[in-house]
Chains A and B, each alone.
Chain A
Amino acid sequence: MISTFTTSESLAAARAANRRAAVAGRTVIFRIKRCDGPGKPSRWEDFKVPVPVGANVISCLQYIAANPVTADGKPTTPVVWDSGCLEEVCGACTMLVGGRVRQSCSALIDDYAPAEGDVITLEPMSKFPVIRDLWVDRERLFHNLKRVKAWVPIDGTYHLGAGPTESPDQQGTRYKLSECMSCGCCLEACPQFNLEEKPDMWDTSFIGPHAISQARLFNMHGTGKVLADERLDALMGMGGVSECGNAQNCVKVCPKHIPLTESIAAMGRATTIHGFKRFFRG
């Protein structure tokens, strides 16, 4: 059956098929969107990379860094990227691989470019300002976590004792939400979250699925819920939960399969109740 729409299953199937067809000892073209610095114009450069078995995007970027020569033999500057853990838990190496957002460390070349001369494109995320080449500034993502106070307030002058116990059920829900690594995939794929270079606009523009989900995580926490009202107030302001347009791309691209759309609906319910309470109680 031909699927009209992209689904997580159809993507996985296409990548698995590529992996099975991958040719050993091939050379792949990396088409990289480059930028020399903030505010500078972008350009595309091609690089020829011999692909060893099991290569990922990062290992190929390391090859390009060691051999900064374009496909037509012109020497250029090494391509810059950001990375940390190299095992898909830190989120730093997030970029557009083949036009779609994901972590580049877990992106296997076999999945994308199985044949000799196949092209694989790399672009920086478009919703954050570029620092250089594939490296972006994700400051706004963390700023938005501060807007909903995504933490448990335990700082003080005396020992608070043990926290309240949690039911296994609640623990199960919260564990999944706690897997968020602040990578930015959900924001990149969201049609309601767009590039905002001016930091004074950040507090009134869409906060993003990640922050809504983290607000839910900490509102469910035994100690964290002391800030529940403040988090709900933040989500009811400009750029809060009502900015969501229900395209639901976030949940499709989340590398940790966090139920972001359920978090958005849950916070929709929480703010509905909070709003009614505030309306009648003042």
Chain B
Amino acid sequence: MSESTTADPRGFFERNHYLLRRLHSLSGVVPIGLFAIIHLTTNSSIVWAAILTEKGRTVTDRTVATFQEEVYFIHNLPFLIFTEVFMLWLPILFHALLGIYYAKTGKANTDRYSYQGNWRYTLQRVSGYIGFLFILYHIATLRWGWTFLVPGGTRWEYPYAASTLAACLRGGVGEVTMAGILISVFYFIGVTMLVYHFANGLWTAAITWGLTISQKAQQRWGVVCTALGVTLFAMGASAVLGFATLRPDEALRIENRVMPTDKRVELQREGKLKPNPGEPRSADAVQTH
């Protein structure tokens, strides 16, 4: 009798092992994967807006304006910081920490068994490590304002989203620097790794949850995941290339036309636009160059 009333001697992780594994799998798809699709769609507008928006203005004019309007929309969503913390940062941290713990239970053996599936297994873990480092750098520099990690020291600010992002990628507001090229390459690798991680993870998630069972079904779902991966890669690559080749001074001119400073100040006074904490500094910084 006493045995049935004794508490489960297993620890928290052991008792909830299955649930944690499934939450790990789920968090990779929703919210993280879903966000990645939205995020890459927004950022690649620096390229696709050239095709999909009305003619009559220069290409840069249309792309920067479209991107800047999207950023205004996102940064004026209600409860943005809560969405960020609970739908992005915490799920990413959860997914990454558990992922590292799970990855450590395996031992790659592609040297003996060089099957394509085995390479994907190994790359899934490698891309997780590199992707997490990239996300940390990406959020810390562009969202948390850790400018000491940015060559050129530019602070990303949402009313100047395109110009400050371009400056962060290019190593400053002027011509592209050596450090800027390195950061752009790091972005390209980081984005590529994360796209692979998501596409392959979506494929394995279908097996984990038991959606695809037969080899045929797994192959069919593989085609879907590959198509999604290729599309997201194209979007990611065009976003990185688009901003790495964008001149910050030109972008700033367009941003000021989309939302002139006096109009923004007025909207902010009326509470229709969120204030930008670092604004005066950045406006001066970019303009003086």
Instruction: Give the distance in Å from the alpha carbon of A237 to the alpha carbon of B121 in the complex.
Output: 22
Residues of A near any B CB (own CB < 8 A): 5-7, 99-100, 189, 191-192, 194, 204, 206, 236-238, 240, 242-249, 252-253, 259, 261-262, 264-273, 275
Is B211 in contact with A249, judged by CB distance below 8 angstroms? no
Tell me, yes or no, whether B107 is within 8 Å of chain A by CB.
yes
- Asked if residues B212 and A245 are in contact (CB atoms below 8 Å), the reply is no
Asked if A247 and B118 make an inter-chain contact with CB atoms under 8 angstroms apart, the answer reads: yes
Q: Which parts of B100-115 form the interface with A (CB within 8 Å)? A: 105-109, 112-115
Interface centre among A192, A253, A262 (most CB of B within 10 A): A262
Q: Contacts A192-B105, A248-B118 given: A253-B113 contact, CB under 8 Å?
A: yes
Contact A245 B121 (CB under 8 A): yes
Is B82 located at the chain interface by the 8 A CB criterion?
no
Q: A99-B112, A100-B113, A246-B121 are in contact. Are A265 and B218 (CB under 8 A)?
A: yes
Does residue B73 face the partner (Cβ distance < 8 Å to A)?
A: no
Contact A192 B116 (CB under 8 A): no
Given contacts A247-B121, A272-B209, A242 and B18 within 8 Å (CB-CB): yes
Contact A100 B115 (CB under 8 A): no
Q: A246 contacts which of B113, B207, B209 (Cβ < 8 Å)?
A: B207
Please, how many angstroms separate the alpha-carbon atoms of A240 and B116 in the complex?
24
By a CB distance below 8 angstroms, the chain A residues around B35 are: none
B206 nearest CB neighbor, chain A only: A265
- The residues of B that contact A244 with a CB separation of less than 8 Å are 208
Contact sample, A vs B, 27 pairs, CB 8 Å cutoff: A5-B119, A6-B113, A6-B114, A6-B115, A99-B112, A100-B113, A192-B106, A194-B107, A237-B14, A242-B21, A242-B22, A245-B106, A246-B120, A248-B115, A248-B117, A248-B118, A252-B113, A252-B117, A259-B215, A261-B215, A262-B215, A265-B210, A265-B213, A269-B210, A269-B213, A272-B210, A275-B19
Q: How far is the CB of B128 from chain A (nearest CB, A)?
A: 12
A264-B207, A268-B209 given as contacts; is B17 within 8 A of A238 (CB)?
yes
* Contact across chains for B18 and A271 when beta carbons are under 8 A apart: yes
| A191 x B118 contact (CB < 8 A) | yes
Query: Is B207 in contact with A268, judged by CB distance below 8 angstroms?
Result: yes
| 9 shortest interchain CB distances as A-B pairs | A269-B210, A247-B121, A242-B21, A268-B210, A248-B117, A236-B18, A5-B116, A246-B204, A265-B213
A243 touching B105 by the CB < 8 A rule?
yes
B214 within 8 A of partner (CB): yes
When C-beta atoms are compared, the residue in chain A nearest to B200 turns out to be A246
Q: Given A242-B18, A243-B105, A269-B209, A100 and B112 touching (CB < 8 A)?
A: yes
Q: Which residues of B contact A267 (CB under 8 A)?
A: 210
A240 contacts which chain B residues (CB < 8 A)? 17-18
Contacting residues, chain B, for A270 (C-beta < 8 A): 210
Which of B10-36 touch A at CB < 8 Å?
A: 14, 17-19, 21-22
**B18–A7 CB distance below 8 A:** no
In whole angstroms, how far apart are the Cα atoms of A25 and B36 in the complex? Answer: 63
Contact with A along B48-61 (1 / 0, CB 8 A): 00000000000000
